[in-house]
Amino acid sequence: REPHVYLSKEEVKEKIQSYNSSVTDKLKMTLNANGIYTGFIKVQMELCRPITVQSSQSQGRCAHSNNETAFYLPDGCVNTLHISSTNTVREVIEALLKKFFVADNPAKFALYKRCHKEDQVYTCKLSDRERPLYLRLVAGPRTEMLSFVLREHETGEVMWEAFSIPELQNFLRILDKEENDQLQILKNRYADYRGKLEEALRGVLKPG
């Protein structure tokens, strides 16, 4: 992790001016008289597991139907949030879930920063106390230099106690379906191999 560099009010003002002069999408930052600044961040949603929403708000590929519905967000979905320099990572995650009408516990998710350095891409999970808008200001507006990604916690870090029983049952149904699909693919592959081998054997053993 890179150490934080605390900026004075004058340094913040200069950085915001430099930031706004480089913005190409009109998503500029604004410095208030109290020293707090506001601006926009874009967060890419990279969720592997389905999210749970209220049935009245659900759309997409459904996996469960009850008082709540689970569905998969489209790959590469990007959301823009207007936040302040005081907003923490945890608050940003909560705002994202609220914007998508997600009923899941925010503790299931983590915010990552993705940086490009020397032709390499680095992804680092942010702590709940870090402030994304500060990171955006320091890095500048170019998303190839810094971007934000929302993901589930890694499998070993999942707080399973944060899931409800219907959610856990729904995940089991999805896993069963995926297992059956993969099993059928393997059966078809080996049936194809067997057919080719039997055809080759018939050619070798054919009298002649």
The enclosing domain of 111 has a CATH number of: 3.10.20.90
Domain residues for the domain of 168 are 162-205
- Looking at the structure of the chain, the number of domains it has is 2
One domain, residues 187 and 97: no
- 4, part of any domain: no
One domain, residues 95 and 194: no
Phi, psi of 204 (to 5 degrees): -70, -40
One domain, residues 105 and 188: no
Q: How many CB atoms lie within 10 A of CB 136?
A: 25
Tokens, residue 130: 């870090």
- Picking from 141, 157, 47, the residue whose alpha carbon sits closest to that of residue 100 is 47
- Picking from 81, 76, 151, the residue whose alpha carbon sits closest to that of residue 112 is 151
pLDDT of residue 115: 87
pLDDT of residue 66: 52
Question: Tens digits of per-residue pLDDT, 172-200?
Answer: 887 788 788 888 888 988 888 888 888 88
One domain, residues 22 and 48: yes
pLDDT of residue 32: 93
pLDDT of residue 26: 87
pLDDT of residue 59: 45
- Percentage of the chain beyond pLDDT 70 is 83
Under-70 pLDDT residues of the chain: 1-5, 54-68, 154-163, 206-208
One domain, residues 88 and 32: yes
pLDDT of residue 65: 45
Rounded to an integer, what distance in angstroms lies between the CA atom of residue 157 and that of residue 113? Answer: 18
- 3, part of any domain: no
Per-position b or e across 46-75, b if 16+ CB within 10 A of its CB: bbebbbbbeeeebeeeebbeeebbbeebee
Rounded to an integer, what distance in angstroms lies between the CA atom of residue 204 and that of residue 165? Answer: 58
pTM: 0.65
Tokens, residue 68: 């709540």
Q: Write the CA distances from 205 to 2, 161, 193, 195, 197, integer angstroms.
A: 69, 62, 18, 15, 12
